[in-house]
Amino acid sequence: MIHELSRRELFSRCLQSVKRTVEAAKPNPRSIPRVAIIQGRYCLAYRNLPCSVCRERCPEAEAIVIERGIPRVNADACTGCTVCRDVCPAPQNAVLLLARRTITIEGGKNEKPSQTRPSVPRNAFPA
């Protein structure tokens, strides 16, 4: 026996199908490549306070280097794992995780992931 759908049921099913499709198409935030940057205005080391916790806990050997007491992220080595952000003891967390953006270069080809650069906010570093 064939069950005929009412207009309301048909519309409801179509709507559910569209919702499922839209949800499936959403990017998973965890899969977006990210890179850390250190905001100097919040970082303790920029205020001459001894801190290098981010460097000590970073699992990538060359992702954070300390130069004259100041931490600097090497974007090519950073995997965006968020460890440095999680351990930063500054009152206002000094580490930002930004989505990498791919730069289109001549010929229309995209750079390799290792060559991507973070989008750095204007006020990320002290004047």
CB of 105 to ligand SF4, least distance (A): 24
CB of 92 to ligand SF4, least distance (A): 10
Task: Answer whether 110's CB lies under 8 Å from 104's CB.
Answer: yes
Among 33, 41, 52, 120, interactor with ligand SF4 by CB under 6 A: 52
- The residues near 1 (Cβ < 8 Å, ≥ 6 apart) are none
Calpha distance 15→11 (Å, rounded): 6
If DSSP codes are grouped into helix, strand and coil, which group holds residue 1?
coil
The rounded distance, in Å, linking the Cα atoms of 80 and 113 is 12
Indicate which single residue of 12, 16, 17, 82 sits in contact with ligand SF4 (rule: CB under 6 A). Answer: 82
SS3 54: helix
Q: Which of 37, 84, 96, 98 binds ligand SF4 (CB under 6 A)?
A: 84
Q: Measured from the CB atom, is 36 or 100 closer to ligand SF4?
A: 36
Calpha distance 113→44 (Å, rounded): 30
Q: Tell the smallest beta-carbon distance from residue 27 to ligand SF4 (Å).
A: 19
**4 to 43, contacts with ligand SF4 by CB under 6 A?**
36, 38, 43
Interface with ligand SF4 (CB under 6 A): 36, 38, 43-45, 51-54, 58, 60, 63-64, 71, 73, 78-84, 88, 90, 94-95
